[in-house]
Each structure stands twice: as structure tokens, then as C-alpha cells.
Chain A
Amino acid sequence: MKLNLGTIRSNCSGFNAIADVAVKTKDVWFDSIELDLSSCSFFEANMAAPLYAVISRLRDDLNDVSISNLPSGVSTILRKNKFLSVFNQPELTDTNQTTLPFKILKLTAGDQFNDYLDTYMRGRGIPTMSEALTKRFRQSLFEIFLNATIHSQSKAGIFVCGQFYPNKHRLDFTIADAGVGIRENVRQYTKMPKLNSCKAIEWAMAEGNTTKTGNQPGGLGLKLIKDFIQINGGKIQVVSRFGYYEFSANGEFVRKMDNDFPGTCVNIEINTEDTSSYCLKAELKSEDIF
């Protein structure tokens, strides 16, 4: 089976195109699937994570997946970020060191994720960001990563990668899984079996909402990230099943995609030149907390 994959950018149509691969291969099992990228003029490196969420499902169904006819520019991007290594194609040294390479992490790999960030975010092509910004960014990534490990119910792991765009002073980092999706969890929790993907994402983005069971409070992580993104002037995108959600300083919107993305993907884009302090209140003491 041969499928075409065109230009992939980190936006609704990029996610929709990746989900299209999943839709067209839904019932394919123990087959050969060739992704033909001859019409792909650009592939934003961080989008390797959601693409692999689709591919991991195909591999789980014992399909042989290959990528062919990559234009040289696209091949360079995907070899530098080590994505093509999972298709046994040689990697390319990232001389500019602006890539946080594609990596598959197990659900229990919180420590490993920390080592990964230590390795690829320090003293490389990625600019020195303020201490406060680095901390908030890393906290946000951990909130998303741990959310994925708790909620995805996927054995395939978590797929991560990132890319720094020096001209735009933007750093994108994407975390994807091939799990059940936000809709499924929210449907079960709210006992609303017909809830749609967009509504489910909106529910999950609201402060205090969590599908975590066990009578524990939660649902703060995504709200904290939104607050951070608002101050930073960045962007967060959440894609899960038919839902596409985007939040930035310009506002937020949710849109139904034509295709069903089989899992969940969160992309954070930050403005690396931000120097905000992120300390909003007067210094709190222990007795002010409880």
C-alpha cells in the first residue's frame, strides 16, 4: 500500500494530513505500507512525534512501514533529528545543534526524559534562556509527559521531539502518544458516551478538571501551562482524535478535524527571548500556603 504525505507543518492541516494516514490504514494488518514524501516540500521536525504515533500503531499491527522519495531538504531535517533512524536510515550530525531529537520513551521513563532534556537543552544551538523561562518550560514538559503516562493507556510509549527555529526565536517541543485519546477518558469520567473530541479537550483544558480516579484533586497542569504561554507569548496545540485545540496570546479556539488522529499530541511553542520573571505574587511564606 502506498500513501502520499505532503508538506507537514505544525498546524491543523499538518495534523489532519498525519491523521489521514491513520484513517487510510485503519484495517490494514501484516502488510507493507510505503509513505511517499515526494510531494512534501517541508516537514517541521517536531511533527515527527505525531507521525510516529500513527506509525507505531501500524507496526503494532505487524505492518512493515517505510518512508520513500524524500526530497533532500526533508531528508536532512528528519535524519538530523534522528527520526529516520527508526527506519534504519543513517542519522546526520546536527551541526547547528538546534534539534531535540526524536525519541521513544517508555511510560515509566520520567528520569530518562529528564536526562534527555539535560543533554539537548544545555549549551547547544538552543539559546540561553532566562532561568525562570527554562524552569517553566521544563515544568510544562513534565506536566504533559506525566499526563501522557497516566492517561494514554498505551503500551507503545511516548514520542518526543523538538526543534529550535533561530530566525523566529521559537522553540517547539512535541509530546505524542498512540493511546485512547482525551475523548475516551472524559466520556468515561463524565458518563457522557457521546461527548465529542472538541468538547472533551475543552473540558480537559479547564482548571480543576481531571479524569484521574481515586478521589484526588488534579487538573492544574494544563491551566498552568496556559498561564505560562500567555505571559511568554507562545502557543500550545492539543490534538486528540477529531479535536484540534490551540491557545496563544491571541486567544483560543477548537476545531473539528476531518480525520481521526489515533492518540493525543501536545505541542508547545515558546518565545525564547522572553525575560519575564514568572513570579506574580509577593513572596509567600509557609504560613500563607495552607
Chain B
Amino acid sequence: MSDQIKIKVADLIGSPLCISAEDGQKVFDKVEQLVKIGKQVTISFENVTMLISLFLNVAIGQLYGSFSEDSIRTQLKVEGLSSDDMELLKRVVDNAKKYYSNKKSYDDAWLEEDNNEE
């Protein structure tokens, strides 16, 4: 098996719509497996017509729970995304980094608030 592997998302999930968490999980499982054994992975979004944050959180954001930022940076590439979808992915990645580095404080800050039952 080559060290360079391309995952065509639309082919893998069998749809041009990257919208559901289930399909995102399918992509995550594949990428996680390949990164774990040291492969260079390119995720291709060619032929994808709809992409939302919910899908990307699961497919890519979740990788930050399994791997270091360094491994992801050196082993992962994306292609086939328009510039606004690249921005969307950047938001997802930044959010994921924050989530895994700082998970508890998200909740604690809120718990300090006083609330009343209606």
C-alpha cells in the first residue's frame, strides 16, 4: 500500500451531500485508521455539493481527540474545497482544538450562572 492515500469523500459516503453525522463518522473512521498507521492522507471533497459544520465536526474535528496537532498537520491534506468552505473547515478545526484542549471550562463558566425554573 502506498504511503499517499486519497479519500474521495463523495465516493466513500455515496452522496454529494456532506451533511449527516453518520456519514461524517464514516470518513473519520477511515482517516483515523490510516493516520494511525502513518499514512499521508488527502481528503478530497471533489463532487461534493453541500458541506456543513455538523459533518466536518465529526469527520475532521474529531481527529483532534485522537491525534496531536503535529501529526495531523504533517499527515493530512484537503483538496477540492471552495475558498468559503476552506474558511468553514478552518472554523471547525479551531473549534475542535479549543474543545479538546479546554473541554471542562466551557461547561464550568456556564454553571456559575444562577437560573430559575419557569
Contact = CB atoms under 8 A, between A and B. Distances in A.
B54 A147 contact: yes
A280 interface: yes
B72 interface: yes
A209 B106 contact: yes
B86 A220 contact: no
| Majority SS at the chain B contact face | helix
B95 A217 contact: yes
Nearest to A241: B118
Contacts of A290: 69, 72-73, 76, 93
Interface size class of A (residues with CB under 8 A): 35 or more
Contacts of B15: 111
A110 B20 CA distance: 8
B88 interface: yes
Interface size class of B (residues with CB under 8 A): 35 or more
Interface string A127-140: 00000100110110
Interface in A200-252: 203, 207-209, 212, 215-221, 224, 242
A66 to B, nearest CB: 32
Interface string B65-93: 10001001100111100011011111111
A143 interface: yes
B53 A143 contact: yes
Interface stretch (A18-26, A84-92, A281-289): A281-289
Contacts of B115: 192, 194-196, 199
A289 B43 CA distance: 13
Given A139-B50, A146-B19, A256 B91 contact: no
B52 A146 contact: yes
Given A136-B84, A199-B113, A286-B78, 11 more contacts: A114-B50, A142-B19, A196-B116, A207-B95, A212-B21, A217-B62, A220-B91, A220-B92, A279-B87, A280-B87, A290-B69
Interface of B: 15, 17, 19-21, 50-54, 57-58, 61-62, 64-65, 69, 72-73, 76-79, 83-84, 86-93, 95-96, 98-100, 106-107, 110-111, 113, 115-118
